[in-house]
Chain A
Amino acid sequence: MMSDQPPPVGYARAPGAEGGPGPRPGGLTALAVINFVLAGFGLLGLLGTLAGSAAMDLVPTTQMSAEDREAFTQAKQLMKDPTVKVLAALDIVPIGLLIVAGVGYLRQKKITGRTIGNLYAACSVLLTVAEMAFLPIPYGAGVTMLSYAIAFVYPLLTLFFINFTFRDDLVQ
């Protein structure tokens, strides 16, 4: 039997109770803010990558030493590699999903919050694995397994939080 009385002052409504999931936990707000910040950084990185190859053509190499010029030419060729361009363009997918999921967290939505959040995590992990496998990293660029481990941190945390900690808060 549901009571007609409102819940006592100072007590949060239980998750899943009639009328919605209850007040949004601060952690969910924090996750949404992190999503927006990471999406912003991702967009900046994407623009940097796409503009990088064009900007590199404008850099004069006449003043460089032979060693520097060779390294610069290698970097320029790398930026023009189609694999780099495709992987960079694919980055737009997790960025978009981050923004949609962030809005979903704020509105405590099941589809745009939990489902899109899971989709973002899966996309991000797959994209990092694809970069590990296909990106032609020049030898000596300092990219190791630990660099990739850092890229896995947020997607894996997202999976954990939205499927366990905030599972009952993303139900609308």
Chain B
Amino acid sequence: MSLLHVNARHLGLIGRNAAYHTVRGGAGIMFLLMALVFGLFVAQIILTPVEMMMSSAAREGHPLPTEEVLSQIINIARPIVRWMVGGKLDLQPPSVEDLAKAATSRTNPAQTPLDRWAAFLLDDRPALMSAILLILMFGVPLLVPVLAFNQTSGDIQSRGLRYLLLRTERANIFFGRFLGTVVFSIAVLGFIVAIITSYLNWRLRIYHSGPLWGWSFHGFLALVLTAVPYIALCASISASVSSPFLSLITSSLIIGGVPLFAWLGALKWNAVGLVKLLTPWGVQQHLLHPEASHVAGAAVLCIVYTAVYLLIGRRYFERRDL
């Protein structure tokens, strides 16, 4: 026995079994299917116009140079990316001044931080991958409850945990199942990012392989860090609710509802906006920030949120009737 009554061997054993039974239990199948379809749809929405543009030019006998394709894509994507990292949405077509400003974006000292952030994502990194990652980072928290809602609540309801408690501590069960769920989600997210990157690399051939795979790996780590606090939140809810269905509804409502409530409330009264601090919503896009300090800060925040949720969940799980 050691810190928090956790035994590494028990933790590994329970984690492995949890990851395996995630699929056999159905939650993993639903998550895998929904995440794959969501990821591929997002990629399709972003990549289809580019493919159409390239094939249209090739069909007319004037294949577009890669720089020309990229420049057109970036001009379309810039206002959307700027909005996704926290700016205001302005979907007016870019004026000549805007295009000139964009051309000098990296040298213009009068730029706002949001402009610099958008320029980093679109000009310094593979723009298409940045756009896909940004959308995935907003979608993944909403998908997580499908995978993580039933870490313990089903067994609490059926009283099945009593047989495990004869052989191990409660903390091992709680943390082991959390780890199993995290491992499964890492595998699924890695698979999705690998498919999209491979498609971009071998089908479109717009970017060099090295920078593309490097940025995709960064994005994959950012996606994992985005998902982990929400899995911990679901673990906490799952440990405190004796019904898997109620756990799913509660997790989904908290993850989707808290940011929405905070946003709507802040329109009327600014202080209500602070409610959003209950979940790490809004932190995730900083994992793709140009400054390393921002990325490190966002990563630390994700880990702190995870730790807080896990400690609350463990405390409840240790004390409740099983």
A contact residues vs B (CB 8 Å cutoff): 10-11, 25-31, 34, 139-140, 142, 144-147, 149-150, 153-154, 157, 161, 165-166
Contact = CB atoms under 8 A, between A and B. Distances in A.
B37 A27 contact: no
B229 interface: no
B316 interface: no
Contacts of B47: 144, 146
B24 A27 contact: yes
A121 to B, nearest CB: 14
Nearest to A166: B24
Contacts of A31: 29
Contact of A146 (B30, B43, B56): B43
A13 to B, nearest CB: 15
B204 to A, nearest CB: 10
A154 B24 contact: no
B25 A25 contact: yes
Given A153-B33, A157-B32, A165 B52 contact: no
Given A10-B163, A150-B44, A153-B37, A145 B199 contact: yes
Contact of B52 (A10, A30, A142, A154): A142
Contacts of B48: 142, 144, 146-147
B24 A165 contact: yes
Does more than half of chain B's interface fall in helix, strand or loop, or is it mixed? helix
Given A25-B24, A27-B23, A142-B52, A150 B29 contact: no
A142 B45 CA distance: 9
Given A25-B24, A140-B52, A30 B29 contact: yes
Contacts of B33: 34, 153-154, 157
A25 B26 contact: yes
B59 A139 contact: yes
Contacts of A150: 37, 40-41, 44
Contacts of B24: 25-27, 165-166
Nearest to B44: A146
Given A10-B163, A153-B33, A27 B25 contact: yes
A144 B44 contact: yes
Query: For this complex, into which size category does the number of interface residues on chain B fall?
Result: 20 to 34
A165 to B, nearest CB: 6
B247 to A, nearest CB: 14
B203 interface: yes
A30 B27 CA distance: 8
In order of increasing CB-CB distance, the 4 nearest A-B pairs are A30-B26, A26-B26, A146-B44, A25-B24
A146 B199 CA distance: 8
Given A11-B163, A31-B29, A157-B29, 5 more contacts: A25-B26, A30-B29, A30-B30, A140-B56, A146-B44
A132 B203 CA distance: 16
A166 B195 CA distance: 25
Contacts of A139: 59
Nearest to A139: B59
B257 interface: no
A41 B112 CA distance: 48
A10 to B, nearest CB: 5
26 contacts: A10-B160, A11-B163, A25-B24, A26-B26, A26-B27, A27-B29, A28-B26, A30-B26, A30-B29, A34-B33, A140-B52, A142-B52, A144-B48, A144-B51, A146-B40, A146-B44, A147-B44, A149-B40, A149-B195, A150-B44, A153-B33, A154-B33, A157-B29, A157-B33, A161-B23, A166-B24
